[in-house]
Structure 1
């Protein structure tokens, strides 16, 4: 028997009998009380150029997100697309703006807010997209940013999604045994959960079904919980506070300069 929801919280419930209807409502507690997963929300994170958008297209089986060789021409705004796949309604949120180092902080804050709204009441899985092969410094920075944005607790809901499987000539499991300590540490943080995509074979639906089944297994391991958007909101509040502190800092600097100028003018007189 499912536990009763805590007063003041919303829950997500899926009917397992009658019409295939999903009853959704916003939930800060992150509770998913359901018999089967009929609704899956995925957030793609990772540095620019690792194949986030292409992976979103592979999952949905269509050109849902713009994936371009020229990074300057790719949208830097978070985007959500969804489709019914294997009897599940799957929502995919692509987050290019969260990891774009060229974007100013106010723009990043807007993108975090968008991501909150698009993935409400919270994603079932955060897919950390990493290009198979060499683990670069940029990817290390992106991983740090994931923790900054989503919080340490997010690792429970995170799975590494390796892309560019076609570029790995050796056995993939053997390759993982040879990776550096930093990538091994990331895999340890996510409970060694990972999946591998070959986005050049987007018509291979087996790799997508395997991913969704791994996500469902992870959610079950988390007691049916999805990632709460409460941490998201804390990040936005923190950025608001930082913005206010920066304004206050420069305001004080300006006042000091004005004071010095006025004092100089008084001395001249």
Structure 2
């Protein structure tokens, strides 16, 4: 028995869900019936990444690699008006908000001021970061100073921040020891699988492949955090961390040194009371690990 052919019409257009994530709406029409299917891309469309690391580790070069041009200059000075550098790049359809911070071991900036600027940079975008990207220059491994610096990051932002930390090993040429890298990350108290390597001086094809591997791993990390409804490190997490520290009397006795720009940025996001406590804690932390920064 022959039947008339069924005519199906399909239309598709992009939409945003209530969280701003892009997706598609597909309309299927079979005769008089219409079916509407909506789905959201599993990959976060806009990633906020804070780059942290020792001076000379390759933070700026990494930003320029993603930007595809030397848009960010390597400048040892940080002006009072611009405590950090923010650039937006696109990689394989995904928007990346990259925030560069002053280098640890900075010789021209007070160490407490460096920590304060990193704190302010963390909440400079509209929301907290999906990833703290700790950039480390490969120099035949790690030393105790490297470990102190990494642990200092966790002390700054609390235990909750550990799930958002990802390591990027730069200046690699294939001679890096994967076992040494994973042992160091695990010893410092982070997930040993959360790292990638990149050679910013390599050829275009090599850098593109390494960028892809880095972003694939970062997106896996973000997706895992998202399933726990903790997609990014929030200012609420930071405030909770500071509340837990308030029991320490040493924090209240610490002296603060900072620029008006940094204090203003922090106050706008965290409020005056929380900001003042954060500044005192960073001053104390700088004294504790002064020789290690």
Shared fold (TM-score greater than 0.5)? yes
Match of 2:223 in 1: 220
Q: 1:205 aligns with which of 191, 208, 212?
A: 208
Match of 1:79 in 2: 85
Shift of 1:134: 2.6
TM-score by length of 1: 0.66
Shift of 1:54: 1.0
Secondary structure at the aligned position of 2:217 is classed as: helix
* Structure 1 pair 98–164 and aligned structure 2 pair: CA distance change class (3 A): closer
Deviations 1:204-239 (A, max 9, x none): 312112211111111111235122233445666566
Please list every run of 5 or more consecutive structure 1 residues that lacks an aligned counterpart in the other structure: 1-10, 19-32, 246-269
Aligned equivalents of 2:72 and 2:178: distance in 1?
29
* Structure 1 pair 61–150 and aligned structure 2 pair: CA distance change class (3 A): farther
- Residue 55 of structure 2 contacts residue 106 of structure 2 at CA under 8 Å; is this kept in 1? yes
* Structure 1 pair 35–52 and aligned structure 2 pair: CA distance change class (3 A): same
Secondary structure at the aligned position of 1:130 is classed as: strand
Match of 1:134 in 2: 141
* Structure 1 pair 231–63 and aligned structure 2 pair: CA distance change class (3 A): farther
- Residue 135 of structure 1 contacts residue 183 of structure 1 at CA under 8 Å; is this kept in 2? no
* Structure 1 pair 89–181 and aligned structure 2 pair: CA distance change class (3 A): closer
Tell me which protein shows more strand as a share of its residues. 2
Match of 2:276 in 1: 240
* Structure 1 pair 74–205 and aligned structure 2 pair: CA distance change class (3 A): farther
Alignment coverage as a number of residue pairs: 210
TM-score by length of 2: 0.61
Aligned equivalents of 1:238 and 1:138: distance in 2?
29
Deviations 1:144-182 (A, max 9, x none): 22112222111111111101112x53xx4xx12246954
Match of 1:150 in 2: 157
Secondary structure at the aligned position of 2:56 is classed as: coil
Shift of 1:92: 0.7
Shift of 1:137: 3.9
Secondary structure at the aligned position of 2:95 is classed as: strand
- Residue 127 of structure 1 contacts residue 158 of structure 1 at CA under 8 Å; is this kept in 2? yes
CA RMSD, 1 decimal: 3.1
* Structure 1 pair 110–163 and aligned structure 2 pair: CA distance change class (3 A): closer
Match of 1:8 in 2: none
Tell me which protein shows more helix as a share of its residues. 1
Q: Where do residues 158-197 of structure 1 align in structure 2 (5 Å cutoff)?
A: 158-166=165-173, 168-169=174-175, 172=176, 175-178=177-180, 182-186=184-188, 189-197=190-198
Match of 2:45 in 1: 38
Aligned equivalents of 1:184 and 1:244: distance in 2?
29
Secondary structure at the aligned position of 2:142 is classed as: coil
Aligned equivalents of 1:110 and 1:191: distance in 2?
27
* Structure 1 pair 213–143 and aligned structure 2 pair: CA distance change class (3 A): same
Deviations 1:28-54 (A, max 9, x none): xxxxx9633221111111121211111
